[in-house]
Structures are given as C-alpha cells and as structure tokens.
Amino acid sequence: MLVTDLAVSLSRLQAGQRTSDALSVKNRPGEHARQTIRTAWLRTVRKHAVLWMVLVSALAFCVLLFALLPMPSTLRGFWVGFVVATALAGFAWMVQLLSNTYGWSMGKFGEEATAEALSGYRLRRRGWHVINGLLFAGHGDIDHVLVGPGGVFVFESKWTSRPCRIERDKVLGLIGREPVSQARDGARKVERMLRYGSQHFDVAVRPVVVLWGSGAPHLDDGWDEVDGVLIFEGRNEKAWLPLLDGSVLSQSLVETISEALTAQVTRQVDRPKSSVRALT
C-alpha cells in the first residue's frame, strides 16, 4: 500500500512538473510568434519540396566536384565548408522569405524587449506581475498584461526598422495590424474577462502600445496618448516607466488578479482549444 501511494504521489509530482514546464514555455514573451513562425516554416518546407531537392542535388554535385579536383586537403576542406555554410544560409534565407514571417520575427523582438523592461527589479520590488501570451479567439494573443499597484495594463509591442508616425489617432507605417486599435481591443477583452469571470474584478484596464526599433518615432516626453491609448517610445523606458506608478489596487487585489490571469494561461496550456473558445 505504501509503495502504491508513493508511486501515485510521484506520478502527480511529475505531472505537475510537466505542467509547470509547459506553462513556463507558454508564458515566455513572444511564444505565440515563435509558434506561428515555426508553423509557417514547416508549411513552406513542405510546399516547396521539389525546390529543396534541386538545391540539395546542386550542393551534393559541388561537394563531389571539390572532392575530385586535385588540390591540397586543407584547401578542399575550406571550400567544402564554405559551400555547405553558404547553402545552409541560403536555405534559411529562402524559407524566411517564402514563408513571409518577417513581421512575426520583428513582433517577437518587440515582445521580448517590452517584457525585459517590465520585469526589471524596480517593478518587481513594488509588487508588479507580468503575464505573457493570453489568448483570445478572434484577437490572437495579448502580448503582456501588467498588474500592479498602479492598475492593470494591456501592452502591445511593435518592433520596426521602417519609419512610422502617429497620425489621426493611429500609428501608421507598421507591418501588420494597427497597434492602437489592437491594444484597445485587447484591453476591452481582458477587462470583460476580469469583470464577468468567476471572481468579478471591478477594475479598469488601460491599453498601451510600445514601439521599438530604429523606425520608432521620437516622442518629446518619451510617451504620448492617442484616444485613451498610451504610446511609449520603447528605448526611452526611464521616461515612461514612472507613468505606471500609482495606488489604484491593493497588493492583495494585485496578487488575486495575477493568480486569475496566470490560471487562465495554465488552462490554455492544458486545454488550448477549449480555453480560447471560452474567451470569445
């Protein structure tokens, strides 16, 4: 009996560890973008199988040619290595180009940069929590939800090397969905989930857009506000991080809301399809 109980306890512990590991991966910043990129790459490789066979045949011919040509072994090794490395780099470039995942790659960089700024010691010391990758049907993933004494904020992150500008209550010039409307929609969905979920949190959720990269506009104060949406210049985080300060929520409420959001991400890991349908 003791052995059976021990085996059951060990099994539960291992299952809990697997769930914890899955949650840790799922809650990484940019995880949704990573999964989308991987899926697009695999689809591209399968779709262009004939092209890859031709390229592999050409590579094998070049390697065979260098093997047959009379030359010192060191020089032969250099050229074979050069050709293989060039072919691999070309393959990666073609997959990236044909899969059209450039925008997702830039989005991942933006999410990681914002998560790093929001996970700094200053915010953590004051009791702030960051939840990444909360999924909603018809919306996609919320990049980050930040919960702390200053309130609840929904962050959408963008990284751009192309110049963009703020005009007519929008950020224009970016690849992909317009971020002001995206952040506003995401904040509305998170607020609805908190208000009408099982625990009924009567809190307001503030939408935020963070712009990173060489193409991000320069904002005089490091931040701006467009139609109720805060827009932050990512590289000037010392100017916009203090805007999050406040005493809107008690620390106990911060912990409870964070636990509820983390539990939702956990359900997404355990039952990804059903949990997303529930959040429509």
> What residue ranges do the domains of the chain occupy?
48-99, 102-278
Would the pLDDT of 193 be above 80? Answer: yes
What is the structure's pLDDT at 227? 86
Tokens of 254: 């911060």
What does DSSP assign to residue 223?
E
More confident residue, 63 or 25: 63
What is the structure's pLDDT at 143? 85
What is the structure's pLDDT at 190? 92
What is the structure's pLDDT at 14? 43
Would the pLDDT of 188 be above 90? Answer: yes
> What's the mean pLDDT in 102-121?
74
Residues 6+ apart with CB under 8 A from 237: 117, 222
Partners of 225 in the beta sheet? 230
Q: Side-chain half-sphere of 172: how many Cα atoms within 13 Å? A: 6
> What's the mean pLDDT in 213-232?
91
Would the pLDDT of 150 be above 80? Answer: yes
Report which of 135, 128, 133, 158 is spatially closest to residue 143, judged by C-alpha positions.
133
pTM: predicted TM-score of the whole model, two decimal places: 0.67
Residue 258 contacts residue 15 (beta carbons within 8 Å)? no
What stretches of 27-158 show up as alpha helix (H) in DSSP? 31-47, 49-68, 73-99, 102-118, 121-125
Confidence of residue 141 (pLDDT cuts 50, 70, 90): confident
